[in-house]
Structure 1
Amino acid sequence: MPVTGIGGLFFRSKDPKALGEWYLTHLGVGAPEGVWIWNQQAGPTVFQPFKADSDYYPAEQQTMLNLRVEGLDDLLASLRAAGIEVITKPEWDAHPEIGRFARIHDPEGNAIELWEPGAPPAG
């Protein structure tokens, strides 16, 4: 296959500079101003279309950013300490082999799913 991975994620913002700084400060996502490349760790990426009427994320959003994380509990504590609302639901974590999930929103209201992958099945 000629495609080797996702090359970028581009989205509109009312204040791109401030929103970019928010992502970098709170999630470590992106790169400092003037640097275009964010080198990330190799790992699983889910590419999945959802039904148009899905209620998994807000209907007014065409897409939802899902970020793969390590140390989800520490990250959530840091986000809460910064005054960022964190949403968790037991049903999101019903399959430990898939992993654990939490949801936050950026300052412009975009839903962001945080995913700590589970351990791969033994065998």
Structure 2
Amino acid sequence: MPVHGIGGLFFRARDPDALSTWYRDHLGIGAGCTPDGGDSDPWSWRTEGGPVVFAPFKADTDYFAADKQWMLNLRVSGLDALVDSLATKGVATERRAEWDSPETGRFARLHDPDGNAIELWEPPADA
């Protein structure tokens, strides 16, 4: 198969520079970022390999806001520490016990300054 993975995610923003800074400062992602905190080229975000879910949802799903076409799901490690770090920066997150399971992992949700939904996903240790 000639496709090897997702090459980018492109979306509209009221203030692209400010939103890029928010993602970099709060989640450590975006152009120039790497998983270990090092530097990447100025256009790309270097990620760790691992599973990526690609799943269209029904138009009337209530899994994320009805006025949004997409939700960003970020694979993370150390979910509790990340949620605590976000809280110290004033970023509200939501956790629900029913979202977590041993088979799929643990989840938290938040929104960026433009109101886009972000789901943080910590896969099970054996995934």
Q: TM-score, normalised by structure 2?
A: 0.90
CA distance in 1, matches of 2:99, 2:118: 14
Q: Where does structure 1 differ by over 3 angstroms across 4 or more consecutive aligned residues?
A: none
Among 95, 101, 110, the alignment partner of 2:116 is 110
Q: Once superposed, what is the RMSD of the aligned Cα atoms?
A: 1.6
Query: Quick one: which amino acid aligns to residue 104 of structure 1?
Result: L
1:77-97 per-residue CA deviation (whole Å, 9 max, x = no partner) reads 00011111111111100x212
Aligned residue for 1:91, secondary structure, equals helix
Whether 2:48 is the aligned partner of 1:41: answer yes
Query: Quick one: which amino acid aligns to residue 116 of structure 1?
Result: E
Aligned length: 120
Matches within 5 A, 1:34-73: 35-73=42-80
Point out where structure 2 has 5 or more consecutive residues left out of the alignment: 33-40
Point out where structure 1 has 5 or more consecutive residues left out of the alignment: none
Q: CA deviation at 1:11?
A: 0.3
2:26 matched to which residue of 1?
26
Q: TM-score, normalised by structure 1?
A: 0.93
Query: Quick one: which amino acid aligns to residue 76 of structure 1?
Result: V
